[in-house]
Amino acid sequence: MIVYKIKDNKIVGISRQANDYVLQANEYGSTIWYLKPFFNGSAVVESITQQEIDDRAEAEAEQSALNEFYKELQDGEKASYELIGYIKRLNLTSAQLLNAKKVLLPVYTALKNGMWDVAKEQIALINRPAGALGGVYDKIKARIDNY
């Protein structure tokens, strides 16, 4: 049972109780947990409008999309740092390191910004390098493809 506690003609508390709960003074029971309960002086009723329901649904969808992007952004930042870490661990000359960074910059930038789909397109445009850098390419490409 849903119990609505009323004080000064306003709902001041809502709780879920066992069905055999005995209502106290200034409490009203219901089988429904209203989205926007309102005490009309004799009963608790729903007061939410369709527009408010639509607005809530829109806000929830927006928050869900934002949460998904935050996750992609965090994962992408981590992957971009790992990409540079992989390259720096190779025994490359300064010129080779600079060249590797230039070639992989579009991939790094897309990952850093959480744009995994763009990173996937960008890495596909790069010819797989030979040697140890090819191993780095394979690692990061697999990570992007599996995201």
Same domain, 32 and 87: no
Q: Please check whether residues 36 and 80 belong to one and the same domain.
A: no
Out of 33-37, 69-73, 109-113, 130-134, least confident range: 130-134
Let me know whether 42 and 88 are in one domain.
no
Secondary structure (H, E, C), the chain: CEEEEEECCEEEEEEECCCCCCCCCCEEEECCCCCCEEECCCCEEECCCHHHHHHHHHHHHHHHHHHHHHHHHHHHHHHHHHHHHHHHHCCCCHHHHHHHHHHHHHHHHHHHCCCHHHHHHHHHCCCCCCHHHHHHHHHHHHHHHCC
In a domain, residue 136? The reply is yes
Average of per-residue pLDDT across 101-125? 96
With a cut of 90, say whether residue 3 has pLDDT above it. yes
**pLDDT for 66:** 96
Which structural domain, as residue segments, surrounds residue 23?
2-48
- Reported pTM: 0.66
pLDDT of residue 91 exceeding 90, the answer is no
The answer to whether residue 57 sits within a structural domain is no
Q: Are residues 36 and 89 in the same domain?
A: no
Question: In the predicted model, what is the mean pLDDT of residues 68-73?
Answer: 96
Measure Cα distances from 20 to 1, 14, 115 in Å.
Answer: 8, 17, 54
On whether both 39 and 104 belong to a single domain, the answer is: no
Q: What pLDDT is attached to residue 140? A: 93
Nearest-angstrom CA–CA distance, 16 and 84: 53
In percent, the amount of the chain with pLDDT more than 90 equals: 89
Same domain, 77 and 140: yes
- Determine the 3-state secondary structure of 43 from DSSP: coil
Which range (5-14, 31-40, 68-77, 85-94) has the least confidence?
85-94
Q: What's the mean pLDDT in 77-96?
A: 91
pLDDT given for residue 132 in this prediction = 84
**83 and 43 both lie in a single domain:** no
For the segment 58-76, the average pLDDT, to the nearest whole number, is 97
Q: Give the length of the chain.
A: 147
Q: Is residue 61, in this structure, part of any structural domain at all?
A: no
> What's the total number of domains in the chain?
2
Within-domain flag for 54:
no
Q: Verify that 37 and 105 share a domain, yes or no.
A: no
Q: How confident is the model at residue 47 (pLDDT cuts 50, 70, 90)?
A: very high
